[in-house]
Amino acid sequence: MFEFEMHQLHAADLHREAAHHRLVCAVGKARKADRARLARYEAEGRVSAGDPGPDRFTRAA
């Protein structure tokens, strides 16, 4: 009976460790996706808030 209880405790530890590992991997993937999204956003560049001027827009048809 003692061996069975030890096996149950060990199995529960392995389940907790696996759940922790999955969580760490998911957080890592989410951070990587956030960095990629931020890099794409920064690559687009800022829009100037200065004076638009007469030649900023094309002529309408």
Residue 8: predicted pLDDT: 97
pLDDT tens column, 2-36: 999 999 999 999 999 999 999 999 999 999 999 98
Residue 54: predicted pLDDT: 61
Residue 39: predicted pLDDT: 82
Residue 3: predicted pLDDT: 95
How far from 25 is each of 13, 30, 52, CA to CA, in Å? 18, 9, 47
List for the chain the helix, strand, coil content (%; round to 5): 70, 0, 30
Is a pLDDT exceeding 80 seen at residue 48? no
Residue 37: predicted pLDDT: 86
